[in-house]
Structure 1
Amino acid sequence: MGRLVPAVTRALDVLELFLDCEGTLSAPEITRKLKLPRTTVHELVTTLTARSYLEQPPDQPGRYRLGVRGYQLGSRYAEQLDLSAEGQRVARSVADTCGETVHVAVLEGADVIYIAKVDSTHAVRMVSAAGRRLPAHCTSVGKMLLASLPEEELEAALAGSGPLAAMTPDSITSPEELRKALAWVRERGTAVEQQESNPDVSCVAAPVRDAGGKVVAALSISVPTVRWSEERRAELEGLAVKGADELSGRLGHR
Structure 2
Amino acid sequence: MELFLDGDGTLSAPEITRRLQLPRTTVHELVTTLAARSYLVPVPEQPGRYRLGVRTYQLGSRYAEQLDLAAEGQQVARAIAETCGETVHVAVLEDADVIYIAKVDSTHAVRMVSATGRRLPAHCTAVGKMLLSTLPPEDLAARLPARLTAMTPNSLTSPEELRAELARVRERGIAYEQRESNPDVSCVAAPVRDRAGRVVAALSVSVPMIRWSEERQRELAELAARGAADLSERLGHHTGNRD
TM-score under structure 1 normalisation?
0.88
d(CA) in 1 for partners of 2:53 and 2:35?
8
Q: Distance in 2 between matches of 1:196 and 1:132?
A: 16
Q: Give the residue type in structure 1 aligned to 2:114.
A: S
- Distance in structure 2 (CA, Å) of the matches to 1:135 and 1:37: 59
Q: Deviations over 1:77-136 (max 9, x none)?
A: 112111111111111111111111000000000000000100001111100000000000
Equivalent of 2:40 in 49, 54, 58: 54
In the alignment, structure 2 segments of 5+ residues that lack a partner are 239-243
Shift of 1:21: 3.6
**What percent identity do the matched residue pairs reach?**
76
Q: Is contact 1:28–1:38 with CA below 8 Å preserved after alignment?
A: no
Instruction: Give CA-to-partner distance per residue, 1:166-191, whole Å, 9 cap, x none.
Output: 11111111111100100000001110
User: What does 1:1-254 correspond to in 2, within 5 Å?
Assistant: 15-32=1-18, 34=19, 36-37=21-22, 39=24, 40-158=26-144, 161-254=145-238
TM norm structure 2:
0.92
* CA apart distance, 1:51: 2.9
**In the comparison of the two structures, how many residue pairs are matched?**
237
**Structure-2 change in CA distance of 1:20 and 1:181 (3 Å):** farther
CA change 1:213–1:128 in 2 (3 A) is same
Consecutive unaligned residues of structure 1, counting only runs of 5 or more, are 1-14
* In 1: Cα distance, 2:14 partner to 2:219 partner: 45
Root-mean-square deviation (CA, aligned residues, Å) is: 1.6
Distance across 2 between alignment mates of 1:45 and 1:167: 61
